[in-house]
Chains A and B, each alone.
Chain A
Amino acid sequence: MSMSTYALTDSWTMTRRELAHWARQPVQVVVNLVFPVMLLLMFGYLIGGGRGVQGSYIDYVVPGMLALTMAFGLEGTMIAVTQDLNKGVVDRFRSMPMANGAVLVGRSVADMLQSALALFVLMGVGYALGWRADGGPGAFLGAVGLLLFFRFAMLWIGIHLALVAGKPEMVQAVQILVWPIGFLSNALALPETMPGWLGTVVEWNPMSHTATAVRHLFGGTGTEHVAAAIVWPSVLLAVFFPLAVRRFARLSR
């Protein structure tokens, strides 16, 4: 159909919409960037003691915090999609002769940009705290790529959950769940220091693979867990991307 020719321009228009929101609410943008920095400072200094970590805890916790920030991005995506659905503006989009997926693509591009910015800021603060990436430029880019790939999977889970739950009250429920799932990983502490069963759960958490792979790439200590950090988000995407797209199309049922 003639719709597909407009897919790119419509997606760009929808991305511009999100960027216009940023320009409207610079304080909100800054708060979103400061929050993970605060967590990093908290865990790096206040609580951190490097539970079982050999070497510098800052080298351990910065990559963990980067991965955790990508995971928490799920909330932001879910909130934004839920608000759109409940405000009626999506009804106007859906009654217009625009490319079907542009609403979701615009959301994705804006959220990925926001996450890239968050990574940039966090790594800057990490650098100031003494964290160094010694693995070389190739490994560095690989690590950033893995983090954003993980965020991309979280993004589509967020879109799907918003389309399924659809109500602001449900966002709160998911927020409460995201935290333990985020912390039940090796982002902040080694699984070896945890009770046996918990350590197992933590090692299975897809986020742990991303955090470990990124640690190795930044540290220049090999490509351990890189395969898992590619496979897990791929699996999540293979499940949630089609589910979310189908859900969106089924708003008309």
Chain B
Amino acid sequence: MADTAITVEKARKKYGGTADRYALDGLDLTVARGTVHAVLGPNGAGKTTLVRILSTLLRPDSGRVEVAGHDVVRQAYDVRLRIGLLGQHAALDEELGGHQNLEMFGRLYHLGARHARVRAAELLERFGLADTGRKPVKQYSGGMRRRLDLAASLITDPEVLFLDEPTTGLDPRGRAEVWSAVRSLVGGGTTVLLTTQYLEEADQLADRISVVDAGRVIADGTADELKALTGGDRIDVVLRDAGHLGAAVALLPVPKDDVRVDPDRRLLSAPVTDRMAALSGVVRALEEAGIEAEDVALRRPTLDEVFLHLTGDDRRVKEPA
């Protein structure tokens, strides 16, 4: 109990107004205290609905949802004392400046006027926004806005922090800024639940990942465990001449259907079981056939492949054309 920060049991939530479409359809989730947990899924999978329920903005229709040991419906106030929220859209007052925003939120967290001012200055410094002065938030860049938004959600050092697609719409630099901010939190013992469509983001930041689709968790585990679901390691072969792709497919030690062919990159990719035997076997076979390769490499599957395997491919199998 004490080492669980988030518990979701059979949470259901209808889409507003619809009779039988569920944004959450019996979702289960457990997040251990002090860990970073990624909720990974496509648009419309229910990620935002889940975050809104966890942060007391929405009530679930049924099921049990607890955050930091308190029920989000019956003990919403106790939950709010212990959480921080970074929503998909900046939850800031656009007309006011950075310091004004943070001071206002600090007062609303009942820090008292003086402490609220001190805390605002501290957080601006920490997130590299100390020199923004009176500039209104509407003139901030996307990355600055996100950082201020993140600062606002950290005013009281929350036990549990929710990040709903924290880097959507940011350029690579903005993304790197947010990532490093999230990493620095983890050392402090904060539990972080983040949603993302970016597999790389989940891979980079999260201890554990829940893959959601259509309002349910369809897979759960560490990045490595999820990658193992698609069948372990893969071998990638890049050929010098795309014209040889067809011939090279037959040389790989797997059934033809398991080989992914990418003609644009002159790339073949196939799952393998015995790593070293596969590597030497493929190199030798290519040499004997006189096919020139630019690169031959063994690698772990990417989360993209896991994701397609769990969602897209499965669905295609289930739904007959």
Residues of A whose CB lies within 8 Å of any CB of B are: 1-3, 6, 9-10, 13, 16-17, 20-21, 24-25, 87-89, 91-98, 102, 251-253
B109 near A252: Cβ-Cβ < 8 Å: no
Nearest CB in chain A: distance from B258 CB, A: 46
User: Judging by beta carbons under 8 Å apart, are A89 and B109 in contact?
Assistant: no
| A95: contacting residue among B16, B85, B89, CB under 8 A | B85
Q: Is the CB of A95 within 8 A of B93?
A: no
Number of interface residues of B (CB under 8 A): 31
A13 touches B107 (CB 8 A): yes
The reply to whether A24 and B109 contact each other, CB–CB distance below 8 Å, is no
Given the contacts A9-B107, A17-B104, A24-B136, A91 and B87 also touching, CB distance less than 8 Å: yes
Could you list which residues of chain B lie within 8 angstroms of chain A, going by C-beta atoms? 16, 55-59, 77, 80-81, 83, 85, 87-96, 100, 104-105, 107-110, 136, 152-153
Interface of chain B: mostly helix, strand, loop or mixed: loop
Distance from A86 Cβ to chain B, minimum over Cβ atoms (Å): 9
Check A2 against B105 for contact (C-beta < 8 Å): no
Q: What are the residues of chain A within 8 A of B96 when measuring CB–CB?
A: 17, 20-21, 24
Question: Which chain B residue shows the least CB distance to A90?
Answer: B91
B132 CB to closest chain A CB, in angstroms?
15
Among A3, A89, A102, A253, the residue within 8 A (CB) of B93 is A89
List the B side residues contacting A6 at CB < 8 Å: 110
Shortest 7 CB-CB distances between A and B: which pairs? Answer: A92-B91, A88-B89, A97-B80, A88-B91, A98-B108, A95-B85, A13-B107
Known: A17-B93, A88-B91, A91-B91. A252 touches B58 (CB 8 A): yes
Measured CB to CB, the closest approach of chain A to B264, in angstroms, equals: 40
User: Across the interface, do A96 and B57 meet the contact criterion of CB distance under 8 Å?
Assistant: no
Contacts of B107 in A (CB 8 A): 9, 13
When distances are taken between beta carbons in the complex, the residues of chain A under 8 Å from B90 are: 87-88
Tell me if B77 and A3 are in contact (CB < 8 A): yes
* Chain B residue with the shortest CB-CB distance to A1: B77
Residue numbers in A under 8 Å from B108 (CB-CB): 10, 13, 93, 96, 98, 102
A253, B59: Cβ atoms closer than 8 Å: yes
Instruction: For the complex formed, measure the closest distance between the CB of B84 and the CB atoms of chain A, giving whole angstroms.
Output: 8
Add 5 more A-B contacts to A17-B104, A91-B91, A95-B55 (CB < 8 A).
A88-B90, A89-B91, A92-B92, A97-B110, A252-B59
Partner of A96, one of B88, B100, B109: B109
- What's the Cα separation between A154 and B94 when bound, in Å? 26
Residue in A closest to B89 when the chains form the complex, CB atoms: A88
Contact between B80 and A96, CB atoms less than 8 A apart: yes
Q: Say yes or no: A91 contacts B136, CB within 8 Å.
A: no
* Most A Cβ at <10 Å: residue of B56, B108, B152: B108
A94 CB contacts on chain B under 8 angstroms:
56-57
Q: Measured between alpha carbons, how far is A1 from B110 in the docked complex, in Å?
A: 15
Chain A to chain B contacts (Cβ below 8 Å), 13 pairs? A13-B107, A17-B96, A20-B95, A87-B90, A88-B87, A89-B93, A91-B85, A92-B85, A92-B87, A95-B55, A95-B57, A97-B81, A252-B59
Across the interface, do B77 and A95 meet the contact criterion of CB distance under 8 Å?
A: no
**Chain A minimum-CB-distance residue to B80:** A97
- Using CB atoms, name the residue of chain A closest to B55: A95
Q: Are B104 and A91 in contact (CB under 8 A)?
A: no
Instruction: Decide if A2 touches B77 in the complex (CB within 8 Å).
Output: yes
* Bound CA–CA A96/B90 (angstroms): 15
A92 touches B104 (CB 8 A): no
Q: What is the distance, in angstroms, from B313's C-beta to the closest C-beta of chain A?
A: 36
B89/A87 in contact, CB under 8 A: yes
Shortest beta-carbon distance from A178 to chain B in Å:
24
